[in-house]
A = this chain, B = another copy of it.
Amino acid sequence: MTTDTTATDLAQAGTAAPQAHAATETGRIGIGMVGYAFMGLAHSQGWRNARSFFDPALTPDLVAIAGRDGAAAAEMARRFDWQHVDTDWRALIARPDVDVVDICTPGDTHAEIAIAALEAGKHVLCEKPLANTVDEARRMAEAAQRAAANGIRSMVGFTYRRVPAIAFARQLVQEGRIGEIRHVRAQYLQDWLVDPESPLTWRLEKERAGSGALGDIGAHIIDLTHFITGERITGVSATTETFVKERPIAGSVKGLSASAQDGGARGAVTVDDAAIFIARLSGGGLGTFEATRFATGRKNSIRLELNGSGGSLAFDFEDMNVLHLHDASVDARESGFTKITVTEPSHPYVENWWPAGHGLGYEHGFTHQAADLVDAIARGVDPTPSFADGLAVQEVLAAVESSAASGSAWTAIDSPAGT
């Protein structure tokens, strides 16, 4: 990065158009990450691996990490060679050698940080869901659109799009292999809240998390439906439930695990434990959706099935390197679902990794995301999923909440974003 414009200058510049950083001139691209917890770890690994396995035109340079808990951020920096640690995200944005701001904080902070970064002329990768409200998401999408006019790129972190089997599913649908979509069946099932003594973390507070299972994991299956089908959800009828209304207040947190505070204080759960809804798609198909943290025995089960006029696809994240394909044109005698192990060089992302049959894991999507973002920046094109795609998910989440609040009445999403 050759500019010496300071972050303060940029912040003052408001909507005045900053120029995209001429990252290609130097062959490197500086990354600044806000957040250091579960997602911070996954993103750190993603940036580093992108370089080693995808060798993008711009080499990711892990410049700085910002977080309120300086010790935790410093520990993450130490393990992954982040060069600097800031305790204020504003300082990180102000760094001239940071080209990309990677936002891994809870949803209530996304809008402020992302808009500030975009206005400072930084490319932005923002964790999902894009925001906690449609209004925030819309403002972010607008900021992204303004920034794009100046070559500033933005992306929302729906990493499951970049699981090879899912990216392959989209390819097949786009190629017409399963015809017109009749049914989408999508479930995101977890069980980490089944125990009523499982503590109340920020993920169970409406102010921080926006919603519960709906926004945290339901957002993923909504986005994956948009991604794989290339269509939009146009209306929903929904209901939600909070099975356990009160929980012990959390002390320490690690990943999705936490322990209760001493003293036995309890607090109200203000988000949904589960959200279920039926939907219609822009192409005329029907959808059933289910997001829950109460599916006992299901740890991180993302199940997708699409039935089309010409065939079907089925996926389960519990067996993430596999996609099942049914081709209705095959004679009935040999017809069935083919279990495709998505580890061939001709499958998305796979060529950069291991030989056929040597599967990938959860974390690899973060590497693909980082590599794709850097590639888009280097090539000067807008990456996906865009903030508008993130807004489209937020619109569905809002429609689900609205329907659930009004006797499951059908709630249309009139002009879905990002189409």
Contacts and interface: CB of A to CB of B under 8 A. Distances in A.
Contacts of A299: 341, 343, 355-358
Given A255-B355, A278-B278, A338 B341 contact: no
Integer count of this chain's copies in the complex: 4
A249 to B, nearest CB: 21
Contacts of A190: 357
Interface stretch (A132-140, A285-293, A383-391): A285-293
A190 B317 CA distance: 24
Contacts of A185: 187, 290
A418 interface: no
Nearest to A297: B326
B334 A338 contact: yes
A72 interface: no
A274 to B, nearest CB: 6
A277 B276 contact: no
Interface residues on chain A, size class: 35 or more
Interface string A315-329: 001111100011010
A238 interface: yes
Contact of A294 (B277, B307, B317): B307
Interface stretch (A16-24, A86-94, A372-380, A406-414): A406-414
B334 A347 contact: no
B194 A300 contact: no
Given A295-B307, A337-B297, A194 B356 contact: no
A83 interface: no
A333 B346 CA distance: 6
A295 B308 CA distance: 8
Contacts of A326: 296-297
Contacts of A362: 354, 358-360
B38 A55 contact: no
A183 interface: yes
A338 B325 CA distance: 9
Contacts of A343: 299
23 contacts: A38-B355, A51-B79, A52-B80, A182-B294, A183-B290, A185-B290, A191-B328, A194-B309, A194-B328, A237-B408, A241-B286, A256-B356, A278-B288, A288-B288, A296-B311, A297-B336, A297-B337, A298-B312, A299-B356, A317-B357, A358-B361, A359-B361, A407-B409
Given A191-B307, A297-B337, A360-B361, 13 more contacts: A48-B48, A239-B286, A239-B410, A255-B354, A298-B357, A299-B341, A299-B356, A325-B334, A325-B336, A331-B346, A335-B344, A354-B361, A361-B361
